[in-house]
Structure 1
Amino acid sequence: MKDKGGVNMKKAISIIALGTLLATNSLLAGGNIVAPAAEVVAVPVQTDTDPFYIGIGVIWAGVSRDCFERGCTETIRLKDSTWGGIVRVGYDFNQYIGIEGRALKATIDSDWAETTHYGIFLKPMMPVGEQVNIYGLLGWGHTKVVTDSTSLQDEFTHNGFSYGIGLEYDLSSKKDDYDSYKKNPDDVPAFDRPFDGQGDQEVGWGLWIDYQNLMNNEGPEKYKTNIVSFGVTYDF
């Protein structure tokens, strides 16, 4: 009677030997063993924002004052409106608060008043959606009104509190703002807060319109001066 265990053992050894021989031949023939490609994981890169912006625009200035001497036969309220230009320079700390300096001069189409103003302001902000921003202005300003007419020449200067409110519109989309931070197409910029494209994260051109009160019943002649401005901004 044949030893079945011995026969099975011989078959197993033969199969192992044959497999080893085939594998060796494959390697000697130049066969390559290819490992599965590893998935490339993008690593977020910490990104620094540039919080500065500049703006240039047109202003309408309204001026009024009492007149009771030097050419005025009775106490009346003189009023004038002029046009001019404005420059804004600002720094956004985040999407809710910033600081802004502005300078303006209004002399165009003047009947008797020319207005000059510059100041520094705290700028609280409230984003509305991705592209609209409502802001306030609270700060200190230097304002000078020169009265120059055939019957009245005068100059009044006021240093003090000034305030305003305005609206900004971002012409770039949130995606455009995000992509502007990429040096390479596959970059994943990382920020100190979830990206919203607002405030210090905003990049590119925008529009604005605002109202600002420069003076309110100042001096013996009770000068009142306010402006409406509109123009374009660029966020770096």
Structure 2
Amino acid sequence: MKKMFLPFAMVAASNLVMAGGDLQEAVEPVVNVPAVVEEASDNNFYVGVGIAAVSARAADVTPNLFQATKEQDRLGNVDLLAGYEFHRHFAIEGRYTTSFTHDDYTKMRGWSLFAKPKYPVTEDFTVYGLLGYGNVELEESNGSGIEMDESSFQWGLGLSYMFNESFDFFADYKFLANDLDGVIYQGIPTNVSVDSFTVGVIYKF
């Protein structure tokens, strides 16, 4: 009987602690598990609209969005965009642009498909790049004879500010056409470049 009682007594004693003459149940140590930050986006689909200042010019002319020059036409465009955010650091985005005003010579429409790498600088501010492929079509206005319709590599840089969970404000610069063959004025062949600066708002579903 003593042999059977001894193991039970040892097991019971191992679960109790003697403190000041009182028996207390042993307390399991608390293990703090670090929280895992979820990187995936909660709002994956988004759409947006922006107003773009566009410079369509001969490739060897420096763009100037603040002053009219002889071999440049300044355009005002509406940009429509839609995208899908796979991750807080990466999205795919499509854009369509069309002119609603211009200086003298041309009007424009075009489309783009971008890979959009992103880097959150703070909780609200994010910087991003745009790398992709798109089309630019320039059409004549006021009898200028301008003609251009080509697709090429496009790139851009921008930043966004998260106003709330549903809305972001953004501003970006895009280089839409570089040294493309075209007709710039009255049948004169030349190489054409197109730049665009856009400000707008994004709605996240």
Question: What is the TM-score normalised by the length of structure 1?
Answer: 0.60
The letter of the residue matching 1:229 is T
Give the aligned CA root-mean-square deviation in angstroms. Answer: 2.2
Q: Is 1:215–2:184 an aligned residue pair? A: no
Cα shift at 1:79: 0.7
Contact conserved, 1:65 with 1:77, CA < 8 A, in 2? no
Cα shift at 1:118: 0.4
Aligned twin of 1:206:
168
Which residue of the other structure, out of 174, 195, 198, is the alignment partner of 1:226?
A: 195
Cα shift at 1:48: 8.7
Aligned twin of 1:153:
145
Distance 1:105 1:127 in 2: 30
**Counting helix residues as a fraction of each chain, which structure ranks higher?**
1
Which residue of the other structure, out of 120, 126, 132, is the alignment partner of 1:133?
A: 126
The letter of the residue matching 1:122 is A
Aligned twin of 1:171:
163
Aligned twin of 2:46:
53
The letter of the residue matching 1:210 is D
Cα shift at 1:205: 0.9
Cα shift at 1:77: 6.2
Aligned twin of 2:31:
none
Secondary structure of 1:93's aligned partner: strand
Distance 2:76 2:173 in 1: 14
Contact conserved, 1:64 with 1:77, CA < 8 A, in 2? no
- The number of aligned residues is 151
Alignment of 1:11-160 (within 5 A): 49-65=42-58, 78-150=71-143, 152-160=144-152
The letter of the residue matching 1:132 is F
Runs of at least 5 residues in structure 2 that lack an aligned partner in the other structure: 1-39, 60-68, 182-188
Distance 2:157 2:131 in 1: 9
Contact conserved, 1:132 with 1:170, CA < 8 A, in 2? yes
Contact conserved, 2:94 with 2:113, CA < 8 A, in 1? yes
Contact conserved, 1:61 with 1:115, CA < 8 A, in 2? no
Distance 2:142 2:178 in 1: 22
Distance 1:127 1:88 in 2: 21
What per-residue deviation string (whole Å, max 9, x for no partner) do you get for residues 165-212 of structure 1? Answer: 11110002xxxxxxxxxxxxxxxxxxxxxxxxxxxxxx3111000000
Please identify runs of 4+ aligned residues in structure 1 that moved more than 6 A. Answer: none
**Counting strand residues as a fraction of each chain, which structure ranks higher?**
2
Identity of matched residues, %: 27
Distance 1:206 1:97 in 2: 16
Distance 1:77 1:216, change over 3 A: farther
Runs of at least 5 residues in structure 1 that lack an aligned partner in the other structure: 1-46, 67-75, 173-202
Cα shift at 1:106: 1.9
